[in-house]
C-alpha cells in the first residue's frame, strides 16, 4: 500500500489557498485542522456558524482552553486579538450576505460538475446538514478537503452524485490525500499529485476522466 498524505498535510495544503485578509469558514474534520497552518505573513479571520469570529488555531494547552471557544470539530481553539462572539442569526447573516470568502468542507461525494453531497449517508439514514448548505451557496470559493477514497477503498469523486445533494455546482477545488483537482467548465483538472503516485493510479480511484494540467506537479506545501 502506497503512503498517502496525512490529514494534517491535507490541511496544510488547504491553508495555502488562504489569502491575506480572507474570511474563512472551516467545516468539521480535516478542514478545522487548517487553522493550525496559516502562514505568519497572512491575516485570516476564521468564522464559525456557532457565532465565533476571529479565532485562532486549536489550543492544545489545557490551562489555556475554554469551552466557550469551540470549532466545528468540537476542538477548543485559541483566542485572538479582536475576536468576538455573535448570535446565531448574525453568524448566518454573515454567511448568507456573502461575507465569507472561502469555505472548506468535507464530503461524502463530489461530482465532476461541482455538485456536493456531504450531509446524508442514505444507507445509514444518518444526516445533519448544519450550515453546509448556506456556506456552499453563499461563499465566494468552496474547497473540499477529504480523503480521496472511503476507508474500504470506494470512490468519492463521481460523474454524478448518488447521495442527496448539499448544493449543486458549488465546489471549486478538491484537495485530497492523493491530489489537488480544480473543477472547471471542461471537467476535472488534475493540478497536483501526491509524491510517489502516478496519474494512472489517481485516475483508477476517480470515476470521471481527469484532465491533466500541463504544469502538473507534486503537491507543494
List residues with catalytic annotation: 49
Under 8 Å between Cβ of 163 and 108: yes
In angstroms, the CA 102 to CA 57 distance is 17
Residue 182: C-alpha distances to residues 108, 141, 146, 172 (Å): 17, 12, 14, 6
In angstroms, the CA 171 to CA 169 distance is 6
Under 8 Å between Cβ of 219 and 192: yes
Can you tell me which residue has the cell 448518488?
A: 162
* Three-class SS state of 30: helix
Residue 43: C-alpha distances to residues 20, 35, 76, 98, 166 (Å): 5, 11, 20, 19, 30
Amino acid at each position: 500500500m502506497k503512503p498517502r498524505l496525512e490529514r494534517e498535510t491535507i490541511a496544510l495544503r488547504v491553508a495555502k489557498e488562504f489569502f491575506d485578509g480572507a474570511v474563512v469558514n472551516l467545516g468539521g474534520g480535516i478542514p478545522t485542522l487548517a487553522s493550525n497552518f496559516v502562514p505568519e505573513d497572512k491575516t485570516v479571520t476564521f468564522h464559525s456558524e456557532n457565532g465565533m469570529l476571529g479565532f485562532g488555531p486549536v489550543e492544545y494547552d489545557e490551562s489555556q482552553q475554554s469551552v466557550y471557544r469551540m470549532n466545528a470539530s468540537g476542538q477548543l481553539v485559541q483566542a485572538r486579538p479582536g475576536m468576538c462572539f455573535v448570535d446565531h442569526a448574525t453568524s448566518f447573516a454573515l454567511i448568507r450576505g456573502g461575507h465569507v470568502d472561502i469555505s472548506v468542507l468535507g464530503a461524502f461525494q463530489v461530482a465532476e460538475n461541482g455538485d456536493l453531497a456531504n450531509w446524508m449517508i442514505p444507507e445509514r439514514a444518518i444526516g445533519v446538514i448544519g450550515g453546509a448548505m448556506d456556506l456552499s451557496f453563499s461563499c465566494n470559493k468552496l474547497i473540499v478537503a477529504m480523503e480521496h477514497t472511503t476507508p474500504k477503498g470506494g470512490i468519492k469523486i463521481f460523474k454524478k452524485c448518488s447521495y442527496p445533494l448539499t448544493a449543486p455546482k458549488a465546489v471549486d477545488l478538491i484537495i485530497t490525500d492523493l491530489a489537488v483537482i480544480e473543477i472547471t467548465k471542461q471537467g476535472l483538472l488534475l493540478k497536483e499529485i501526491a509524491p510517489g503516485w502516478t496519474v494512472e493510479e489517481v485516475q483508477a480511484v476517480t470515476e470521471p476522466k481527469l484532465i491533466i494540467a500541463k504544469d502538473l506537479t507534486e503537491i507543494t506545501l
